Protein backbone atom coordinates (compact mmCIF):
# COMPACT_ATOMS: atom_id res chain seq x y z
CA UNK A 1 0.00 0.00 0.00
CA UNK A 2 2.87 2.37 0.86
CA UNK A 3 4.48 1.74 -2.54
CA UNK A 4 1.29 2.78 -4.36
CA UNK A 5 0.93 5.92 -2.24
CA UNK A 6 4.55 6.94 -2.94
CA UNK A 7 4.17 6.22 -6.68
CA UNK A 8 0.95 8.25 -6.81
CA UNK A 9 2.53 11.19 -5.00
CA UNK A 10 5.61 11.08 -7.26
CA UNK A 11 3.48 11.00 -10.41
CA UNK A 12 1.47 13.95 -9.11
CA UNK A 13 4.62 15.97 -8.46
CA UNK A 14 6.06 15.20 -11.90
CA UNK A 15 2.77 16.10 -13.60
CA UNK A 16 2.40 19.29 -11.57
CA UNK A 17 5.83 20.46 -12.68
CA UNK A 18 4.89 20.07 -16.32
CA UNK A 19 7.29 17.19 -16.96
CA UNK A 20 4.65 14.96 -18.54
CA UNK A 21 3.34 15.92 -22.00
CA UNK A 22 -0.11 17.45 -21.90
CA UNK A 23 0.05 18.21 -18.18
CA UNK A 24 1.23 21.39 -16.49
CA UNK A 25 1.88 23.85 -19.33
CA UNK A 26 -0.07 25.74 -21.96
CA UNK A 27 -1.79 23.32 -24.31
CA UNK A 28 -3.30 23.18 -27.78
CA UNK A 29 -6.43 21.02 -27.86
CA UNK A 30 -8.41 19.90 -30.86
CA UNK A 31 -10.13 17.16 -32.77
CA UNK A 32 -9.37 15.33 -36.01
CA UNK A 33 -11.93 16.57 -38.54
CA UNK A 34 -12.67 15.10 -41.96
CA UNK A 35 -11.81 11.67 -43.32
CA UNK A 36 -8.73 10.21 -41.58
CA UNK A 37 -9.68 6.57 -42.34
CA UNK A 38 -7.14 6.20 -45.17
CA UNK A 39 -4.22 7.49 -43.07
CA UNK A 40 -1.57 5.00 -41.97
CA UNK A 41 -1.86 5.57 -38.19
CA UNK A 42 1.48 3.84 -37.56
CA UNK A 43 3.26 6.67 -39.43
CA UNK A 44 1.08 9.58 -38.30
CA UNK A 45 2.68 12.15 -36.01
CA UNK A 46 1.89 15.70 -34.84
CA UNK A 47 4.25 18.64 -34.81
CA UNK A 48 4.11 22.30 -33.88
CA UNK A 49 5.93 23.97 -36.76
CA UNK A 50 6.88 27.54 -37.47
CA UNK A 51 5.86 29.29 -40.66
CA UNK A 52 8.13 31.49 -42.75
CA UNK A 53 7.03 34.88 -44.09
CA UNK A 54 5.77 33.13 -47.25
CA UNK A 55 3.76 30.54 -45.30
CA UNK A 56 6.17 27.66 -45.92
CA UNK A 57 6.91 25.30 -43.05
CA UNK A 58 9.99 25.90 -40.97
CA UNK A 59 11.40 22.93 -39.07
CA UNK A 60 12.81 24.99 -36.19
CA UNK A 61 11.51 24.67 -32.63
CA UNK A 62 9.13 21.85 -33.34
CA UNK A 63 7.51 19.88 -30.57
CA UNK A 64 6.81 16.30 -31.50
CA UNK A 65 4.06 13.97 -30.33
CA UNK A 66 4.76 10.52 -31.66
CA UNK A 67 1.47 8.81 -30.83
CA UNK A 68 -1.49 11.11 -31.40
CA UNK A 69 -4.78 10.03 -29.90
CA UNK A 70 -6.59 8.39 -32.80
CA UNK A 71 -9.92 8.59 -31.00
CA UNK A 72 -10.39 11.92 -32.82
CA UNK A 73 -8.80 14.15 -30.12
CA UNK A 74 -5.34 15.47 -29.41
CA UNK A 75 -3.58 17.52 -26.73
CA UNK A 76 -0.18 19.05 -27.42
CA UNK A 77 1.81 20.96 -24.82
CA UNK A 78 3.42 24.18 -26.03
CA UNK A 79 7.09 24.86 -25.29
CA UNK A 80 7.63 27.57 -22.67
CA UNK A 81 9.59 29.64 -25.20
CA UNK A 82 10.05 29.63 -28.97
CA UNK A 83 11.39 31.82 -31.74
CA UNK A 84 9.14 34.80 -32.37
CA UNK A 85 6.72 34.01 -35.18
CA UNK A 86 3.59 32.15 -36.23
CA UNK A 87 3.02 28.42 -35.76
CA UNK A 88 0.51 25.74 -36.69
CA UNK A 89 -0.10 22.21 -35.52
CA UNK A 90 0.29 19.79 -38.42
CA UNK A 91 -0.41 16.10 -38.77
CA UNK A 92 2.10 14.38 -41.02
CA UNK A 93 3.19 10.98 -42.25
CA UNK A 94 6.68 10.24 -40.91
CA UNK A 95 7.93 8.73 -44.18
CA UNK A 96 11.56 8.32 -43.07
CA UNK A 97 10.52 7.00 -39.60
CA UNK A 98 12.91 9.32 -37.79
CA UNK A 99 10.28 10.87 -35.49
CA UNK A 100 10.99 14.37 -36.84
CA UNK A 101 8.99 16.46 -39.28
CA UNK A 102 11.16 17.13 -42.33
CA UNK A 103 11.08 17.91 -46.03
CA UNK A 104 10.50 14.26 -47.04
CA UNK A 105 7.42 13.86 -44.86
CA UNK A 106 3.88 14.26 -46.17
CA UNK A 107 1.61 16.82 -44.50
CA UNK A 108 -1.76 15.17 -43.86
CA UNK A 109 -3.55 18.15 -42.36
CA UNK A 110 -3.27 21.28 -40.25
CA UNK A 111 -5.25 23.75 -38.15
CA UNK A 112 -6.30 25.69 -41.30
CA UNK A 113 -7.03 29.30 -40.33
CA UNK A 114 -5.99 28.98 -36.66
CA UNK A 115 -2.49 30.03 -35.67
CA UNK A 116 -0.37 30.24 -32.56
CA UNK A 117 1.78 33.35 -32.37
CA UNK A 118 4.82 33.59 -30.14
CA UNK A 119 6.07 37.04 -29.20
CA UNK A 120 9.07 38.07 -27.12
CA UNK A 121 7.35 41.34 -26.10
CA UNK A 122 4.02 43.19 -26.13
CA UNK A 123 3.13 45.30 -29.15
CA UNK A 124 2.45 45.36 -32.88
CA UNK A 125 4.26 42.59 -34.75
CA UNK A 126 4.24 41.19 -38.29
CA UNK A 127 3.11 37.55 -38.60
CA UNK A 128 2.23 35.11 -41.39
CA UNK A 129 -1.40 34.08 -40.75
CA UNK A 130 -2.52 33.09 -44.23
CA UNK A 131 -1.18 36.46 -45.37
CA UNK A 132 1.34 38.82 -43.81
CA UNK A 133 -0.46 40.90 -41.16
CA UNK A 134 0.49 43.28 -38.37
CA UNK A 135 -1.19 42.14 -35.15
CA UNK A 136 -1.15 43.44 -31.58
CA UNK A 137 0.09 40.65 -29.33
CA UNK A 138 1.08 40.06 -25.73
CA UNK A 139 4.42 38.56 -24.69
CA UNK A 140 4.31 34.75 -24.88
CA UNK A 141 1.84 32.54 -26.75
CA UNK A 142 -1.21 34.08 -28.45
CA UNK A 143 -4.02 32.37 -30.32
CA UNK A 144 -5.37 33.83 -33.57
CA UNK A 145 -8.18 32.86 -35.92
CA UNK A 146 -7.66 34.42 -39.36
CA UNK A 147 -11.22 33.49 -40.37
CA UNK A 148 -12.86 35.66 -37.69
CA UNK A 149 -9.95 38.11 -37.52
CA UNK A 150 -10.72 38.76 -33.85
CA UNK A 151 -7.81 40.18 -31.84
CA UNK A 152 -5.08 37.70 -30.79
CA UNK A 153 -5.71 36.31 -27.30
CA UNK A 154 -3.86 34.50 -24.53
CA UNK A 155 -5.15 31.40 -22.75
CA UNK A 156 -3.94 28.51 -20.62
CA UNK A 157 -5.47 26.10 -23.14
CA UNK A 158 -5.97 26.94 -26.81
CA UNK A 159 -9.07 24.88 -27.54
CA UNK A 160 -10.77 24.29 -30.86
CA UNK A 161 -7.54 23.99 -32.87
CA UNK A 162 -9.04 21.16 -34.92
CA UNK A 163 -6.89 19.34 -37.47
CA UNK A 164 -8.42 19.11 -40.94
CA UNK A 165 -7.18 16.87 -43.72
CA UNK A 166 -5.31 18.72 -46.45
CA UNK A 167 -7.82 20.34 -48.79
CA UNK A 168 -10.74 19.96 -46.34
CA UNK A 169 -10.53 23.25 -44.43
CA UNK A 170 -13.94 24.78 -43.64
At 97 the pLDDT is 85
Query: Distance between CA atoms of 65 and 86, rounded to whole angstroms?
Result: 19
Q: From start to end of 112-154, where are the E strands? A: 114-119, 123-128, 132-137, 140-145
Q: Please give the average per-residue pLDDT across 55-59, as a whole number.
A: 68
Q: Please give the average per-residue pLDDT across 96-106, as a whole number.
A: 84
Domain map (residue ranges) of the chain: 22-165
At 70 the pLDDT is 52
Nearest to 29 by CA among 158, 169, 164, 165: 158
As a 3-state breakdown, the chain gives helix, strand, coil percent values, each rounded to 5, of 10, 45, 50
Provide CB contacts within 8 A for 86, sequence distance 6+. Answer: 50, 51, 115, 116, 117, 127, 128, 129, 144
**pTM exceeding 0.85:** no
At 20 the pLDDT is 47
| C-beta neighbour count of 93 within 10 angstroms | 17
Percent of the chain with pLDDT over 90: 44
Residue 6's H or E segment, with its range, is helix 2-16
Band (pLDDT 50/70/90 cuts) for residue 101 is: confident
Of the chain, the end-to-end C-alpha distance in Å amounts to 52
Band (pLDDT 50/70/90 cuts) for residue 85 is: very high
At 38 the pLDDT is 85
| Average pLDDT for the chain | 81
Amino acid sequence: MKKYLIATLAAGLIAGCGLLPGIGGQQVIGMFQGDWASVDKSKMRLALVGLTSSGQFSYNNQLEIKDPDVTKRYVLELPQAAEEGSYQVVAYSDEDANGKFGSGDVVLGNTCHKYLLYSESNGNKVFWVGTVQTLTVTKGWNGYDNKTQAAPYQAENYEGFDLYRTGQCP
